[in-house]
Amino acid sequence: MFVDFAFIILGLLLLVGGGEAIVRGSVSVADRFGMSKALIGATLVGFGTSLPEFVATFGAAAQGADGIAFGNVLGSDIVNLLFILGLCSLIYPMVTPKEGLKRDFFFVMIASVACLVAIVLGGISQIFAAILCVLFLIYILNIFRSDREGLEGDIPEVRYPLPIAAIFVVIGIALLVGGAGVLIKGSVGVATAFGVSEAIIGITIVGVGTSAPELAASLVASVKKENAIAFGNIVGSNIFNVFAVLGITGLIFPITVSSNFSIFDGLVLVAATAAMFGFALTKGKISRLEGAALTSAYIVYLVWLIIRATAAA
């Protein structure tokens, strides 16, 4: 048990360092290639911080642990929308990019609804997975086209020469992936000691653990008042998690979603998506009060999961 807690602490330290490095490097990369902060947040930062989700989900599915595989993505997306976005907004009210917001809402909502559909259908077949992959490609092409047309705005200033910026990004992603792996190992070790099911471990421990890179990167960006990167990171991560992570994994290892997952879990994700964009579209920012509401909602959801796990034990 002591070793597991040591892994958790080490993982958190690596994640903090990785978050700092990837934000520093990505801002400079964005400038060097004429890319906006919103675009770099949704792609380089968002996809880079989602690598732990891909590794965890693909590995779990390959080993037949479908509950952890699907629960990881579902839990990670809920953490991103409620806890991470809420916490970042508590630190500094998050001004959301005006352009492209409706487009992002469309794709993130489709991703969230796809998770709900997977729960209802009881799994992700290869055909379902192929559709998710196609949606991912459509999203990527769409945001790059929009950025070239100048719809995203907010081009950052030069921070570092390109080689140094690239090194920062690579080191940052490596630290985030490594830190998440160590954190997950320690967290799962602690959780399994209490006899929790795969589904609950996937939604909570693994989902939260693999979201730690998003948390680290978004918190650092928020503290530095890089709102476009923080918001884009969450949007990009959620889209990548569903379309790419579940899509690619499902093409190779069709995923069975067991009855341990409740439709309520999917509805929480859809409601969280609607709440995030509802706040962003109406006021152009997510205030501290709204951030507190999102964070509180996540705490309530966690309590419900604990009660559910206790009742099933």
pLDDT at residue 169, rounded to an integer: 80
Instruction: Quote the Cα angle for 42-180-86, to 5°.
Output: 55
Three-state SS string across the chain, please? CHHHHHHHHHHHHHHHHHHHHHHHHHHHHHHHCCCCHHHHHHHHHHHHCCHHHHHHHHHHHHCCCHHHHHHHHHHHHHHHHHHHHHHHHHHCCEECCCCCHHHHHHHHHHHHHHHHHHHHHCEECHHHHHHHHHHHHHHHHHHHHHHHCCCCCCCCCCCCCHHHHHHHHHHHHHHHHHHHHHHHHHHHHHHHCCCCCHHHHHHHHHHHHHCHHHHHHHHHHHHCCCHHHHHHHHHHHHHHHHHHHHHHHHHHCCEECCCCCCHHHHHHHHHHHHHHHHHHHHHCEECHHHHHHHHHHHHHHHHHHHHHHHHHC
CA distance 130 to 110: 15
Q: Give residue limits of the domains in the chain.
A: 2-312
Per-position pLDDT tens, the chain of length 313: 678 778 877 876 787 677 677 767 776 776 677 666 666 666 666 666 677 778 778 888 888 888 888 988 999 899 999 999 999 888 888 877 666 677 788 899 999 999 999 999 999 999 999 999 999 889 888 877 765 554 444 444 546 777 888 888 888 878 877 877 776 777 677 667 766 666 677 787 777 777 777 777 788 777 777 777 778 778 888 998 999 999 999 999 999 998 888 899 999 999 999 998 888 877 778 889 999 999 999 999 988 988 887 776 5
pLDDT of the residue at 307: 84
pTM above threshold 0.85: no
Is CATH 1.10.10.10 the classification given to domain 2-312?
A: no
